[in-house]
Structure 1
Amino acid sequence: MMNPTPWWKALKLRREVVAASGQIDDVQMSLFQAVYGTGALRPAYAAADYYGEITHPTDRLVDLLSEIAVRLGAGDDYQKARPVTRLDQGMGGGKSHACIGAYHLAANPAALLGTQLGEGILLRAKQKLGRDLPADLGHPHVIVMPCDNMTPGAPTQEFDGPATSLYERFLWRLFSKDYSLYERYQPYFSDKSRIAEAIRAVNRPVLVIVDEILDYVGNGLDGANRPDLAAQDMAFLRALLDVINDVPHVAMLAVMIASDRDKTSLSTAAAARRDDLNSLLERNGTPATVTEVGDFADILRRRLFDGDPAAEVLAATVARYHPLHSDPVWVKNVWDQVGGQWREQWAAQVAECYPFHPQLMAIAREEWSQVTGFQRVRSTIRIFAATVFAQQQRGLAGGWTPALIGPGDLPLSDSAVREALLGSGLVEDDRTIANYRSLAEREVVNNADTSGSARRQDLERNSLMWGDANPRAAERAATFIFLASVVGTLRPGRGRGASAPEVKAACSVPDLAFTVTDADTVIDDLVGADGMSAVEVVPGQGHNKPARYYLSTRLTHRMLVNDIRRTITETERDAVVAEFARRLSSTGPFRDLMFVAGDSGRTPTEVLATAGLDTAYTTRLVVLDPSQFSLRNGSEQATMHALNVAVGLGKGTEQLPVQWASSAVFAVIDTQRRANARGMAIEFLARQRALEADEVKNDEDLKATGAKEFFQAKEQLEKALRRAYQHVVFLAQPDPEGERKLDQVSLEDEHSSGLDGTIVWKALAERDKVLDAGAFSAKALVHNLRENDYGRTLSDLRASFYSAPRLPLLYGGDRDLQQAIYDAVIAGIVLIVDAGGNSVDVTAPNQVNLASAGLRLAKPKPLPEADTPPAAGEDTPSEETGGGTQPPNGAGAGESGSTAGHTTPAVTEQRLSFSFTQNLLGDDLSSDHLASVFRVLYQALDERQVSYGQATLQLVLSAEVATKVTQELEALGVSATVNPL
């Protein structure tokens, strides 16, 4: 379906709305200016025809003016209309508008009766009389008493001439400044007959309009401080109200707000005068109103736009919303819960309210108008005039505008809209108004249209399918929450704030690309931790009681937390994550726990290379600071490079002399889950600092809420952090003859964490990197030993279990190794021998000296076979012939012999050990022999024929040579001790 012409093109704003940039100066019409204004002070509505053009003929206004027309111009049928009418409705209800209409009716009947309003007046009068009224209504005379522009005892020469009292001012206007007639009747301020005579003297119908009479008789008369004047004026008013009833062709329109609607503070005397006048008006006058809530839409359109929309535009707009209103998901989750007759009568409602959405108009009629201080017509016109102008300017600038202006489309970024709303009477307290002004800018959208919690979410949202159709979704939802909050608890039948379905409706668009799920996401983000800080959420209870949202002007814990959250830096956040990671870590079977703190001034490689991780004979769980180390999500390269260098797998200048890397296991955080943990850290920090704030310390309710949320945030952070440490990295050598490499285990179980040493050990046991408790037996020992492990010292063997990745890490460390060797010796699987190859007995596991450099592990010697009697006819070998029992496997005692069918494997390596202590000073021959020994060793090392070396060598030599040897040893990573003699 093609989009219809947008409303800002289909309708033309009136010139005064455009000229005032939406801030209509004359929304509050002034009777005084309409009658007495001149030059620039004369408003456009001072012309009867223009007044009729901008005035919607509401039933009540037509009824009021037709009553006056009949009373003035119906001849003998004047009594078919009421003589005195009192307008008593509250501020902004159209009283001044009606007074101006009455003035134009009497002062220029031809012009007014030629308008649509005038046609309605004539038709209503004809229905009452059964005939037409004369076009000039008998040429009435109008007396206008604008009491809000009259000071008791202080007349204005231009308007009042010589008059001082209210009665005298009445006469001066009645006689059109005829001084002789004025003087004739001047003394008779309370004489009903003489007042009636004076009115008849003009020989024309007379309309008396007394506007805002309480301004004069209330505190105004108090200020004059003239009891005689007050007495005269009140006496005149009593007489006038009776006279109007008695004189034909005379009508009076008096404006005085009913006392129950008027909050004006009066003195005792003024209050007594008000009560007196109120009784007179009730006795002599008929109360009337000129507008009702149902007139809002028509009044607005007539007041704001020059003409009506085309029928085809209305039809296309109605049709555009049909898919949205009939979508089953929207119907179930939104429209049925929002209710309202506007959807049931959609076409008629759009035609009536265009360009405003019927939902917005329903809120203005049914909610705003119920607020005592709200100036119904005047306030609504101001709000909507500012809104349509601001939205039209957006449209002209190529920005997004709604198809119909709904309850989320009042642009709070426009100061005219915001101030019209806050100054409308919906909020009466100045301090509360200031608070809401601040909330609008901070939580919804600022004046520059660039910030505010909701606006930022719209601006920062990634491109979505519905982005172009609804680019201000969050702002629109927040705007409606703001409007519902301003009304407070006065929303009839709806409770405080905005319900979730109402907010979804407010941010909806007639485009099904924006789904209910999208609306839910927008609202969740808006009321979530990163959304509006002042929003209060009333949890829902199913479809019957959905969640509700409102903005609080009182300091709440949420507001305080959100304000603090914005001040937390990344450094502070990461410091908390590191602190919790350190505290939550546990060793389990590992002997040591190490935490490597990050350093933003150095690379991850530099941090690990200097962390002192290469600890001898110790299984270590190394927890890496998540601020600098993480795996997965495409950002693990720096971490993996640093780990490779840390375990000795670096290349070139990064190849570190690392010996004990196999016994270090690294716990590393997952990159994606780190983001969640960081978010939880911010929540924790914000609540921790909120508890320390004076506002919370001095408020028991805030303190209780703060403590509860603090512990919840702490639990959430701990949970998120444990789960985030998902990866375990270790040095592996799957093929004993192959190369070493880094391997990883990812803990997929939701309850597993790399911070728990026990869980890490279990995971590594499944990968044969470690052995669990009781798993390292004598058989396991022999299974893990290679041929060249036999003959090595116990010290070397012990070191291998911490440095060789082909060997598993042991649950009990040295104790497990001692126990396994002892059990193997007892079982005869292995032997412990001394340097001479003699077997050494051990009687307990703790007697296995793993630090020994003299004891070695050896395979058991083969046992001789038992003597067997020769079979009959066989010869018995004799010692002379060298006969005897062959060793097992056909090997001789020296393991160098062979028998038929058996070949002894060639020995490829041998262990060489020697020790000497000799004074070489002056012994050239010994020095030459020792030099030859070292030359042979040098050649063997140079040709890579030495696979293992361990030695302690003490030499006395020259200082120069000592320096050179020390330098070479340092290059090898060996520390030398040099002492002067």
Structure 2
Amino acid sequence: MTTSVTPWWKALKIRQEILNASGEIDDMQMSLFRAVHGRGTDRPPYADAGYYGDITHPAERLIDLLTEIAVRVGGGDDYLKARAVTRLDQGMGGGKSHACIGAFHLAAHPEALLATELGEKVAERAKAKMGRQLAHDLGRPHVLVLPCDNMTAGAGVQELDGPAVSLYERFLWRLFSEDYTLYQRYRPFWSDKHKIAEAIRAVNRPVLIIVDEVLDYIGNGLDGANKPDLAAQDMAFLRALLDTVNDVPHVAMLMVMIASDVDKTALSAAAKERRDDLNTLLERNGKPDTVTEAGDFADILRRRLFDTEPATEVLSATAALYEPVLNDKGWTKHVWEQMGADWRRDWPAEVAACYPFHPMLMSVAREEWSRVTGFQRVRSTIKIFAATVYALQQRGKAGGWVPALIGPGDVPLSEGPVREALLGSGLVEDERTTANYRSLAEIEIINHDGSSGTACRQDLERPKTPWHEANPRAAERAATFIFLASIVGTLRPGRGRGASAPEVKAATSVPDTSYTITDADSVVDELVNPDRGISALDIVRGQGNNKPARYFLSTRLTHRMLVNNIRRTITESERDQVIAEFAQKLANSGPFRELKFVPADPQRTATEVMVTSGLDTAYTARLIVLDPAQFSLRNGMEKPTLEALNVAMGLGQGAQQLPVQWASSAVYAVVNTQRRSLVRGLAIEYVARQRALAAPEVQNDSELKSTGTKELAAAKEQLEKALKRAYQHVVFLAQPDPDGERYLDEVTHDDDNFTALNGTAVWKALAARDKVFDVGEFTPRALQHNLREQDYGKTLSDIRAAFYSAPRLPLLYGGDRDLQQAIYDAVNEGLVSIVDGAGTEVAVTAPGQVNLASTSLRLAKPLPQVCLTCGEQAHEGQCTAGSETSPPSNSPQDGTPSSGPSNGSKDQEAGAGRPHGGATPPVKDQKVAFSFTSNLLASSEGADGFAALFRAFYMALDERQISYLQGTIQIVLQAEAAEQIQQRLNDLGITATFKEI
């Protein structure tokens, strides 16, 4: 349809807080406590009087209430023209908190509130009541707020209540603005009306007392305190206060207590007595009041959702669009007259009042939804409509179809926030029914991405029609109205159960004559067709024009349908959250000192998430598990993950180069992209069964519950198994060549028994790559082997840091303990020395004495020995005088070495501290490294050569000539020989992989 009318989503500006929350307004329930006491981020926008006035529709009853308060506290000698005590007794969602905040702003910030449209109307009505203008400051009233829903009986909060404990004491503390002297003067008189009145007068200013949700305090609150004396005092105080307020000039009191006939709070017998007592007092001293009525709906909604009013010409042009269809004979005879569309009578005025909502939708909300007991009239409607206008505005901006007025079929059930706002609004009180309707919305109408659902498919698959562009969602709109009419059950006044055929057709109408009543008939007939239409539809056949057919979505679902339906409602974020939770539960640190999990954040890049996760921990070997929702390797999707890992390990370039000190001691467990796909599918199955098992219809059926429990256990087992297998990548920082560049290295296991979530398995895999030392491997010789020439002379603190920050040095199984032990043993074996700043050797008598945090002690090569006889330095273990040698003067002087030979190696037996005159020079070690690959099937000489090589290895081991071993061997051999080797490996505690080929 081509039209010059400005669409509503351009003509109106949605309030910023709704845009910021993507249509999901969590803070719909205004809080008097937060408005008065909120600070910083906890201070809501409506704590500002100007903003409050901006978003508040000046409803007649609200104006009346605020006028009464304004005249009572600020009307001077005319204060008697207004009542002193008002009780707000509406049910939940009726606007009580909103009114209390308005009263607070009126008294606490009178000039700011009176400058708003709401305030101007209050001032105007007060002038009519008194015959003169209100004072702009209302005489500077003192506002005393008792937010009883945020008070614990018998336990005051220091910053709010000071020394006060009882309700009367808290009243005094607030009345006197924390003046301790006045507080103490009147504190004993909790039931003395004269003293309470005297205390109020002592303020010497008008006083407004607001008591919010008093039943929360006097009901279960006083029961919980279990202090009969406190309960008696608090009730006596409330009796005295209610009698006193009427007698003190310029004092008004606003008390909130829901009427007992609509308050479903469970109370004890004592609490009921207290409530009845207070009810009697309020009936005697005050007047019950409400602040909203059904006629305020549209105005409240528009003021709350939009911060601009539509232009008059837009309203007129929009109303004119619909005139041809509203006056069409076919539509009139078969739809408008049959459904009794009263809103047609003054159509332009109705459009102006309801814009951008269709009067039919507003009528449903006002006349049907508001009658449901659990529905919070104002609050629930705002949440539903806020989510609706946001979703439709986004659709319009994206170039999608948006109705000229939002009708009863235009509530977009494909949007999770809209659907949940509807189902969580109180329209559906039963949890089982709620769950079933959630499933029905996905199956029968439209799913979350607009690609499936019975009605959605009919729209998508419908052949081109003349009205396609004007009404591309006709079936979805019809089904949506049936859904709305069904969730309220039989509560539709005068209409019976479900939606009538004329109503459903009306929900599909558009302001375009190309879409005729015949087209509407076809759309609805196809939708309710037993074979091709909605399968969960109950149809009551019509009986002539007076009783048209009615359609009702039935919630009778089988267990399989329930699971299938729930599966379709699970979002990607819910699926990913479950996977993340399982990954954290299954992960264990093993030898790693710390286990960390990096959760995904879809609002940021992988690199941003990584660099802000606090991963660079000092002196700690860390296993870091990355959330599969954002991090994975392989399958062409690994680039963001690799970029993030490079930056996190200090390998970034340019602006991405970050100062990362401890990257070498961080090892990352990363999921495989292809295997992640399987995990995601299993996660959805698990969540579907978990929710199905929790459904009331399953819990109440022992057989279904047993089946559901077994299926859930099986789904959990499959998910855990697949997730473990999916974590097959281990990424770490490597530098095999001490003089070479650092780079990311990776261990990938195809073995289904391996998982990077197992810290022990990861450590074993890294040991095979020389990245770590396994348990017991870090010997003194291993320490000496890994030290470079420039490492000697460094402090113990630097040596320690190097084992966590230098990728050329493997990580230690026992961390600092292993390093202390190795240094201690190396000193005792004469392989290294510990010296102080002056170069003097320092003795250590236990591994714990090796102070790795020291910045003064240094690691040095062993000091040369001196001859005991001549005092000269020995050379090559020989003294020219043929005398014995001894260690330096600061070493033990008993002529014995500090420790016996380690591992029995011959070079150690010739070590320092032994008599050396005439002795053979100590044997020096050599480091041997080689690799080989050989096919021995057709080469007997090659086999003989390797046999000789391994015999030489055997002899060297047997004679204790090898002090350090590290390496990996891969061989192909006969099964019988493999069994023998496997047994030997098991004896040594070495894990090996054996596969048949």
- Scaled to the shorter chain, the TM-score interval is 0.5 to 0.7
In structure 2, what residue type is equivalent to 1:531? Answer: G
Amino acid at match of 2:339: V
User: 1:5, 1:87 → 2: CA distance?
Assistant: 41
Work out whether residues 534 and 558 of structure 1, in 8 Å CA contact, stay in contact via their aligned partners in 2: no
Name the counterpart of 2:451.
450
| Correspondence 1:735-814 to 2 at 5 A | none
Give how far 1:297 is off: 0.4
Q: Deviations along 1:811-856, whole A, 9 cap, x unmatched?
A: xxxxxxxxxxxxxxxxxxxxxxxxxxxxxxxxxxxxxxxxxxxxxx
Query: Deviation of residue 258 (structure 1)?
Result: 0.2
2:23 and 2:387 in contact (8 A); partners too: yes
Structure 1 counterpart of 2:284: 283
Q: Which residue of the partner structure matches residue 494 of structure 1?
A: 495
Q: Does 1:471 align with 2:452?
A: no
In structure 2, the residue matched to 1:508 is 509
Q: Distance in 2 between matches of 1:558 and 1:460?
A: 27
| One of 538, 548, 551 as aligned partner of 1:549 | 551
**Shift in Å, 1:498:** 0.4
Deviation at residue 3 of structure 1 after TM alignment: 3.7
Where does residue 241 of structure 1 map in the other structure? 242
Shift of 1:534: 1.1
Give how far 1:26 is off.
Answer: 2.5
1:99-119 per-residue CA deviation (whole Å, 9 max, x = no partner) reads 000000000000000000001
**CA displacement 1:315-368 (0-9 Å, x = unmatched):** 110111011001100000001112132111100010011000010001111111
- Residues 533, 558 of structure 1: 8 Å contact kept: no
Distance (Å, rounded) in 1 between the aligned partners of 2:178 and 2:112: 26
1-side partners of 2:158 and 2:557: how far apart? 55
Residue 538 of structure 2 aligns to a residue whose secondary structure is strand
Give the secondary-structure state (helix, strand or coil) at the position aligned to 2:489: helix
Paired position in structure 1 for 2:316: 315
**Residue of structure 2 equivalent to 1:371:** 372
> In structure 2, what is the Cα distance between the partners aligned to 1:173 and 1:432?
47
User: Residue in 2 aligned with 1:530?
Assistant: 532
| 1:214-233 to 2 correspondences below 5 Å | 214-233=215-234
Say whether the 8 Å CA contact 2:436–2:557 is kept in structure 1: no
Matched, 1:325 2:329: no
**Is the CA contact (8 Å cut-off) linking 1:219 and 1:267 kept in structure 2?**
yes
- Equivalent residue of 1:378, what SS? helix
Structure 2 partner of 1:159: 160
Partner of 2:59: 58
Aligned to 2:481: 480
Per-residue deviation at 1:558? 15
SS at match of 1:537: strand
Q: Deviations over 1:770-801 (max 9, x none)?
A: xxxxxxxxxxxxxxxxxxxxxxxxxxxxxxxx
Matched, 1:193 2:168: no
Distance 2:442 2:270 in 1: 46
Q: Give the drift of 1:202.
A: 0.2
Which residue of structure 1 lines up, in the alignment, with residue 343 of structure 2?
342
Aligned pair 1:37/2:57, yes or no?
no
Structure 2 unaligned residues grouped into runs of 5+: 569-696, 702-997
Q: Percent identity?
A: 74
Q: Which residue of 2 aligns with 1:146?
A: 147
Q: Distance in 2 between matches of 1:480 and 1:533?
A: 16
Moved more, 148-157 or 100-109: 148-157
Q: Which amino acid aligns with 1:479?
A: T
- Separation in structure 2 between the aligned mates of residue 546 and residue 474 of structure 1, nearest angstrom: 19
Say yes or no: does 1:362 pair with 2:349. Answer: no
- Asked if structure 2 preserves the Cα contact closer than 8 Å seen for 1:148 and 1:213, the reply is yes
Aligned residue number for residue 81 of structure 1: 82
Decide whether aligned partners of structure 1 residues 542 and 3 sit closer, same or farther in structure 2, where only a CA change above 3 A counts.
farther
Higher Rg: 1
Q: Deviations for 1:417-470, whole angstroms, at most 9, x for unmatched residues?
A: 111111111111222211111111111111111111111111111111111111
3-state DSSP class of the match of 2:104? Answer: helix
Check if 1:438 corresponds to 2:421: no
Say which SS state the counterpart of residue 214 (structure 1) adopts. Answer: helix
Alignment of 1:675-686 (within 5 A): none
Which residue matches 1:273?
A: 274
2:113 counterpart residue number: 112
Q: CA deviation at 1:173?
A: 0.3
Offset of residue 557 of structure 1? 14
> Following the alignment from structure 1 to structure 2, what is the Cα–Cα distance between the partners of residues 404 and 147?
42
| Aligned-partner Cα distance in 2 for 1:248–1:276 | 25
Alignment pair present for 1:427 and 2:428: yes
Would the aligned equivalents of 1:213 and 1:255 in 2 still touch at CA under 8 Å? yes
Q: Who is 1:540 aligned against?
A: 542
SS of match in other structure, 1:210: strand
Residue in 1 aligned with 2:614? none
In structure 2, the partner of 1:417 is 418
Q: Mapping of 1:604-683 within 5 angstroms?
A: none
The aligned counterpart of 2:397 is: 396
Cα offsets for 1:168-225 (capped at 9, x unmatched): 0000000000000000111111111110100000000000000011111111111111
**Given that residues 3 and 320 in structure 1 are in contact (C-alpha distance below 8 angstroms), is that contact kept between their aligned partners in structure 2?**
no
- Pairwise CA distance, 1:383: 0.5
**What is the aligned partner in structure 1 of residue 819 from structure 2?**
none
Deviations 1:679-706 (A, max 9, x none): xxxxxxxxxxxxxxxx9xxx9xxxxxxx
- 1:500-523 superposed Cα distances (whole Å, 9 cap, x missing partner): 000000011111111111111111
* Structure 1 position 285, deviation (Å): 1.1
Letter in 1 for 2:532: D
Question: Does residue 258 of structure 1 match 2:263?
Answer: no
Please report the RMSD computed on the Cα atoms of aligned residues, expressed in angstroms: 1.8
SS at match of 1:246: coil
Decide whether aligned partners of structure 1 residues 450 and 260 sit closer, same or farther in structure 2, where only a CA change above 3 A counts. same
Q: Does residue 1:137 correspond to 2:146, yes or no?
A: no
**Letter aligned with residue 532 of structure 1:** I
Q: Distance in 2 between matches of 1:274 and 1:128?
A: 34
1:207 corresponds to: 208
**1:367–1:95 CA distance, 2 compared to 1 (3 A):** same
Letter paired with 1:348 = A
Query: Alignment length, in residue pairs?
Result: 565
> Who is 2:94 aligned against?
93
Looking at structure 2, the residues matched to 557 and 50 of structure 1 have their Cα atoms a distance apart, in angstroms, of 50
- Superposition deviation, residue 556 in structure 1: 8.9
State TM-score, norm by structure 2: 0.56
Which residue of the partner structure matches residue 179 of structure 1? 180
Quick one: which amino acid aligns to residue 508 of structure 1? S
Per the TM alignment, residue 66 of structure 1 is displaced from its structure 2 partner at its CA by 0.3
Contact 1:533 1:559 in 2 (8 A): no
Q: Distance in 2 between matches of 1:462 and 1:556?
A: 33
Partner residue in 2 for 1:520: 521
Q: Which structure 1 segments of 5+ residues have no match?
A: 567-694, 700-981
Whether contact under 8 Å (1:54, 1:302) holds in the other structure is yes
- Could you tell me which residue of structure 2 aligns to residue 647 of structure 1? none
Give the whole-Å Cα distance in 1 for the aligned partners of 2:84 and 2:251. Answer: 7
Residues 113-159 of structure 1, C-alpha deviation per residue, up to 9 Å, x if partnerless?
Answer: 00000010001111111111111101000000111100101111110
Q: How does 1:956-971 map to 2 (within 5 A)?
A: none
Distance change (3 Å), C-alpha of 1:266 and 1:229: same
Letter in 2 for 1:91: M
For the 8 Å contact 1:373–1:428, the answer to whether it is kept is yes
Q: Is the 8 A contact 1:443 1:453 kept in 2?
A: yes
CA contact (8 A) 1:106 1:142 kept: yes
Equivalent residue letter for 1:360? L
Kept in 2, the 8 Å contact 1:534–1:559? The answer is no
Give the superposition deviation at 1:554.
Answer: 2.6
Q: State the distance in 1 between where 2:415 and 2:377 align.
A: 21
Distance of 1:340 and 1:532 partners within structure 2: 26
- Superposition deviation, residue 87 in structure 1: 0.3
Alpha-carbon separation, structure 1, partners of 2:6 and 2:87: 45
> Structure 2 CA distance, aligned partners of 1:261 and 1:123?
34
After superposition, what is the alpha-carbon deviation per residue over 1:652-701, rounded to whole angstroms, capped at 9, x for unaligned? xxxxxxxxxxxxxxxxxxxxxxxxxxxxxxxxxxxxxxxxxxx9xxx9xx
Change (3 A) 1:192 1:557: closer
